Structure 1
Amino acid sequence: MLQFGVRNPVLEYRHRATAFGIAERDGLIACVRVERPDGAYFDLPGGGVDVEESEVQALVREFTEETGLSIAPENRITEATQYFRRSTNEPIKSVGGFWTVKVTGEDPDARCEEDHTLVWLDPTFALSRLRHDSHAWAVAVWLRRAS
């Protein structure tokens, strides 16, 4: 599995199973702009897998909570590990899959993460703007397979 981020050996990282999706519409991909007190950043929609969930279930839930879009996961295109620190400064080791997804519906009222806003970005622009290198890697994999 590919590893991104720099692991600080003096920190204890919490393992976090994750799932993220790439949805395409008219040549653009769905991303979320996340607003934090120290600045905004872009992520692919998705997030943590709860204990009782499969990766696919978490992907569907997280995508809807962050974007208001209903999705159907299609293909797991890559997986990666990302070391990072959350906005709370907690060290995280995110481990999981990246999926292509099909948008099956929209319900803006289903979005419950108020600090997340759905944005459609050109994939090549997203490569340079996504917060995590693992997300950019997944978009690069998707672009190479889509061509």
Structure 2
Amino acid sequence: MAGVPQFGDRRAELAYRDRPAAFGLCEREGRIALVIVDKPGFAPWLDLPGGAIDPGESAAQAVVREFGEETGLRISAGEAFAHADQFFVNTDGEAFNNRATFMAVSWLGEAPALKIEDDHTLVWIDPHEAVERLRHDAHAWAVSAWLRRVVAPGRASR
């Protein structure tokens, strides 16, 4: 997609496969939903809930499914507010270029039966802190873009 920012460092020796993905930004009481991902052999990290778009799925369908699988929350997808690409290598050593759609989502309720990813733990964090702590630069950029949209004109932010 032309004009979409590209994040991450591309290592010349790796072949990066494009991976359409969707991530959700859910705010409640001034905090946003993130997941702590804790994989054996790696230091835990923070991500926005979301992930790969399956064949035949829309970005909205993917973010609803992924959000539930990772957090145990039922959400509805709102508008896509940003797009960004991110080179990364997953914990299995596969190289991807996430072609991410970032969507504002609304919390509808808890749905523990949806949660199937045991290595993901839901946390609610101040969005400014999230910008500093998120693993992927594209995720931090998207939270910053979201913050710029929701801060009222003339209201001082941090």
Shorter-chain TM-score: what band?
A: over 0.9
- Equivalents in 2 of 1:25, 1:93: separation in Å? 30
Aligned to 1:54: 58
Number of equivalent positions? 147
User: C-alpha deviations, 1:73-117, integer Å up to 9, x for none?
Assistant: 111110000001101121111002000000112112220000000
| Equivalence map 1:43-122=2 (5 Å) | 43-122=47-126
- Equivalents in 2 of 1:25, 1:96: separation in Å? 23
SS at structure 1 position matched to 2:44: strand
Aligned AA (2:29): D
User: C-alpha deviations, 1:25-64, integer Å up to 9, x for none?
Assistant: 0000000000012110000000000012111111110000
Unmatched 5+ stretches in structure 1? none
Which consecutive aligned stretches of 4+ in structure 1 deviate over 6 angstroms post-superposition? none
Aligned to 2:45: 41
Unmatched 5+ stretches in structure 2? 152-158
Aligned to 1:133: 137
- Equivalents in 2 of 1:108, 1:136: separation in Å? 27
TM-score by length of 2: 0.91
- Equivalents in 2 of 1:12, 1:74: separation in Å? 33
- Equivalents in 2 of 1:121, 1:133: separation in Å? 17
Pick the structure with more strand per residue. 1
Say which one has the larger Rg.
2
Aligned to 2:21: 18
TM-score by length of 1: 0.97
- Equivalents in 2 of 1:20, 1:72: separation in Å? 12
- Equivalents in 1 of 2:61, 2:78: separation in Å? 13
